[in-house]
Amino acid sequence: MRYAIVTDTYPPDINGVALTLQSYVRGLRARGHEVEIVRPTRAGEPPGADAQSLRIRGLRVPRYPGLRLALPAGRRLHTRWRAARPDALYVATEGPLGWSALNAAHTLGIPVVTALHTRFDLYMAAYGLPWLQPAALSWMRSFHARADATLVATRALAQELREAGIGHPVVLSRAVDCAQFDPARRDADLRRQWGVDGNGLVAIHVGRIAAEKNLGLAVRAFRALQVEHPEARMVFVGDGPERSALQAANPDFIFSGAQRGDELGRHFASADLFLFPSRSETFGNVVLESMACGVPQVAFDHGAATEHLCDGAHGARIAGDDEDAFVVAAVALACDPVARRAMGLAGRDAMRRLTPAHVADDLDALLAGLRAGTDARQPPSSQTDAEDADGRAAA
């Protein structure tokens, strides 16, 4: 089979969308499929094509210097795909390149799925533009309506999209690499660099340092637990537009920058408590990564936490938008090393079944079904089994 994945972000970009797509590409190629990646050019890289990718001229995304947004490319896509027709498309991002791909697919009769990886409508309020939320919803509704199916990572998000009239949602679970994210990567030398001895407490946040991540609450929770544990350290792994301001306001915090691969696993596993205050996630791969590393967490009842984080067994899952409850839970876990240890072991065990190979199987079955004319709105049978297991875990 020949598939094409169209996206505005792909490694070496560091974000959940890019890394998820890389996992999909590796899994599909391991099954012997050809996978073409259509993406923006990177800084200093000329547009062009090779056997496995098509690079489209792009523009820098304001406030995110590491990301680029591809320009429209309908004619190039139409010409390329008419000459070498994909069996199915996966369009991952809703920008001009995604629209171009949808137009070309419709003209050529190529089946296509879209994916909703980012809730841009929810970002509007975080950036002080709440009046743009209806426009963002309208854009998303129009975009995803043109696909045979819209892939989402959780059943809760699928229900939200149905209620909002966005696309034809199908749940495709996410995976975590339990070799990369492993408690065995805990590193005493790294902890000493952070100024922590063997029994000290490290709270960590992993992700983009940006307004939509609600990081003020992570700071507040850490300062509260620091009252009980004055020796505790707060580590931020990641980068983003809010890093300079956050670092200036909290000079005692440790900022490790963006980490990749095994280094990311080493940083995660060397912490004791993950603080994840975001309420704008469609999923949140870091929830799974923290659990795989055996690090309990405090997170809101959204995205991956709803599907996979069992409150009281893997950490604390906070209902609604109760920020006070988030802080209380963080302090309680900081003061209970026995509970943290038990939660870490339980979280690690729960992640062992979410393998990248399993998810790639489901994506392959869905894309192959599009070519065969199967109703893409019905999840693969293995996906149904995974959803049932997720429901038991989240109960």
Residue 372 tokens read as: 């065969």
Q: Are residues 325 and 368 in the same domain?
A: no
Q: What is the mean pLDDT of each run of 10 residues along the chain (395 residues)?
A: 94 86 94 95 77 86 72 94 95 93 96 85 64 77 92 89 88 92 97 91 95 95 97 96 96 96 96 95 91 98 92 96 97 97 97 88 90 58 44 42
One DSSP character per residue, 228-282 reads H-TT-EEEEE---TTHHHHHHH-TTSEEEE---HHHHHHHHHT-SEEEE--S-BS
Q: Are residues 251 and 388 in the same domain?
A: no
Q: Are residues 134 and 246 in the same domain?
A: no
Cβ density class 53-72: b for 16+ within 10 Å, e for less: ebbbebeeeeebebbbbbbb
**111 to 114, 161, 372, 374: CA distances (angstroms):** 10, 21, 10, 11
For residue 265, the domain's CATH number is 3.40.50.2000
Spatial contact of 201 and 194, defined as CB atoms under 8 Å apart: no
Contacts of 94 (CB under 8 A, 6+ apart): 114, 120, 139, 140, 143, 144
Q: Are residues 201 and 319 in the same domain?
A: yes
pLDDT of residue 15: 83
pLDDT of residue 197: 83
pLDDT of residue 223: 98
pLDDT of residue 390: 45
Residue 375 tokens read as: 């109703």
Q: Are residues 18 and 90 in the same domain?
A: yes
Q: Are residues 66 and 160 in the same domain?
A: yes
pLDDT of residue 160: 86
pLDDT of residue 350: 94
Cα three-residue angle 32-35-38, rounded to 5 degrees: 170
Specify the residue for token string 């609600």. 214
- Give the chain's domain count: 2
pLDDT of residue 149: 93
Q: Are residues 235 and 145 in the same domain?
A: no
CA dihedral 306, 299, 116, 181 (to 10 degrees): -100
Bridge partners, residue 58, by sequence: 70
Q: Are residues 280 and 303 in the same domain?
A: yes
Ranges of H-type helices in the chain: 16-30, 74-83, 96-108, 120-126, 133-144, 155-164, 188-193, 215-228, 243-249, 261-269, 285-292, 303-308, 323-334, 337-351, 356-372, 381-394
pLDDT of residue 138: 82
Q: Are residues 18 and 60 in the same domain?
A: yes
Q: Are residues 377 and 319 in the same domain?
A: no
Q: Are residues 124 and 251 in the same domain?
A: no
pTM of the model: 0.79
Domain that holds residue 102: 2-175+355-394
Q: Are residues 150 and 234 in the same domain?
A: no
